[in-house]
Amino acid sequence: MVNKVILIGNVGMDPEVRTLEGGAKVARIRLATTERLFDRQANEAKEHTEWHTITLWRGLADVVDRFVRKGSQIYVEGRLRTREWMDKDNNKRYTTEILADTMNLLGRRSDNPASEGAPAYGGQQQGGYQQSGYQQPTAAPQPQPQSAAPSAPADDPDDLPF
């Protein structure tokens, strides 16, 4: 009932972005998360880097296309998805990936490798808002770097009848 993944890490290589025949955009990212852990056997600190494959569709793929590069630090929220495929020897193989529901660019805009020589954004306010999700198929054109689309209904807490 709940299948949630939350990652913060650095992108290992420039993302792959494709457009399907039907017009849907898909992006794939390799993301590294590094943790320190203590090796009980060796009685010493070690570091472990885990590499994640993340798939992003439509609006999120578009944000990736425009703003994510090798080295970008990002936040991803999504779900685990195991795909089944056949290898060259016709053996069933499984690959586990993260299907993204939300993505945010982290750090300052100047951190972003994609900001070098990037489109000017005409000095606009550009929002800096960074929540994005699949929930917004009707997302307006997205001039903001680091952003996909509005995320939530504005149910006014002042209206509360309690």
Residue 24 or 111 with smaller CB distance to DNA: 111
Can you name the residues that pair with 97 across neighbouring β-strands? 81
* Min CB(99)–its own copies separation in Å: 7
Nearest residue to 56 (alpha-carbon basis) of 24, 11, 13: 24
Instruction: Give me 83's structure tokens.
Output: 């795909």
Which entry of its own copies, DNA, none binds 25, CB below 5 to 8 A by partner kind?
Answer: none
Binding to DNA, residues 21-80 (CB under 7 A): 30, 32, 34, 49, 51, 70-71, 73
Q: Which helix (H) or strand (E) holds 58?
A: helix 58-67
Distance CA 68, CA 103 (A): 10
Q: How far apart are CA 119 and CA 99, in angstroms?
A: 28
Q: Report the nearest approach of its own copies to the CB of residue 105 (Å).
A: 9
Q: How far is the CA of 159 from the CAs of 89, 151, 153, in angstroms?
A: 63, 20, 14
Binding mask 84-123 for DNA (x = CB under 7 A): ------------------------xx--------------
Distance of closest approach, residue 93 Cβ to its own copies, in angstroms: 7
Whichever of 66 and 106 has its CB closer to its own copies, that residue is 106
Report the nearest approach of DNA to the CB of residue 47 (Å): 7
- Looking at the DSSP bridge assignments, the partners of residue 57 are 26
**Which residues between 120 and 149 bind DNA (CB under 7 A)?**
125-129, 145-146
H or E segment to which residue 56 belongs = strand 44-57
Applying CB under 7 A, which residues contact DNA?
Answer: 9-13, 30, 32, 34, 49, 51, 70-71, 73, 108-109, 125-129, 145-146
